[in-house]
Amino acid sequence: MILDIRFDFDRQNRLGLIEAIWGEHKSVEQLKKIAQEVLNKGEFVFITRINESKARCLQDIYSNAIFIKDANCLVIGENVNKIKTEKTVAIVSGGSSDLKVSLEVKTALEIYGITCETFIDVGVAGVHRLFSQLDKINEHDLIIVCAGMEGALATLIGGLLPQPIIGVPVSVGYGVSKDGMVALNSMLASCSPGILVMNIDNGYGAAMAALRIIKS
């Protein structure tokens, strides 16, 4: 049975942001129904946390569907209401294991026309790697930091650079890391003042927070 879908079509008018579709726990049939309703309204479709199997099924239906495999995101159509701004975002991650969340951030920002630059594998375990990129990171207006393990990267950057910083704890790490809980608590308890913290692995949420800041 396919349940009735109540998509928030007014969100674009209220917030300037469309409703994203969570793909992980929806069936292909549910995703097809929602996607068609959204497209019928002249909106573009943005699905997060969708696996390759579901994405390929939708690509068989919609020839303009683009699957960003490493981000687990699918886009159908184009956003005609891009944000006009010269502000840019740096997306910084502690290691390549954080890449999926970092690319979710990047994908979500770029569909709104935001220019991003990614800085991958600059974690605190080899802090010289961060310092070698610090001047380039500092050229951007806003910084999103994705980090697992103890999540210290957000605090370190927050003590070095003045831009708004959004931390995204990532569910990467051995035993006691507890699927990102340690990184989350570490970022929440950061001694670098003013860091904003998202929920674990919530790259999409970080991107939307960045858009709110950019639009303000």
Model pLDDT for residues 99-121, shown as the tens digit of each residue: 889 999 999 999 999 999 999 98
Count of alpha carbons within 13 Å of 184, Cβ hemisphere only? 14
Across the chain, what does the average pLDDT equal?
90
* Token reading at 22: 């969570």
SS3 of the chain: helix, strand, coil, percent, to 5: 45, 20, 40
DSSP state of 129: H
- pLDDT value at residue 5: 67
Residue 1 predicted with pLDDT over 70 = no
pLDDT mean over 143-167: 93
Q: Where does the chain show beta strands of DSSP type E?
A: 21-22, 45-48, 65-68, 73-76, 88-93, 115-119, 142-147, 165-169, 196-197
Q: What is the enclosing helix (H) or strand (E) of 54?
A: helix 52-61
Q: How far is CA 27 from the centre of its chain?
A: 22
Contacts of 49 (CB under 8 A, 6+ apart): 22, 23, 24, 72, 73
Provide the pLDDT for residue 3. Answer: 57
Q: Which residues of 71-104 are buried (b: 16+ CB within 10 A; e: fewer)?
A: bbbbbbbebeeeeeeeeebbbbbbbebbbbbbbb
Q: Would you state the pLDDT for residue 170?
A: 94
Confidence category of residue 216, pLDDT binned at 50, 70, 90 = confident
Q: Among 16-20, 78-82, 187-191, which is the least confidently predicted range?
A: 16-20
Q: Global pTM?
A: 0.90
pLDDT-based confidence at 96, cuts 50/70/90?
Answer: confident
Query: Does the structure show a pLDDT above 70 at 28?
Result: yes
Contact 206, 93 (CB under 8 A): no
Indicate if the pLDDT at residue 155 is higher than 70: yes
Give the Å distances, CA to CA, from 105 to 6, 80, 93, 198. 25, 19, 11, 12
CA 172 vs CA 94, 184, 198, 203: distances in Å = 10, 11, 15, 14
| DSSP secondary structure, 130-191, as one string | HHHHHHHHTTSSEEEEEE-TT-HHHHHHHTT--S-EEEEE-S-SSGGGGGGHHHHHHHHT-S
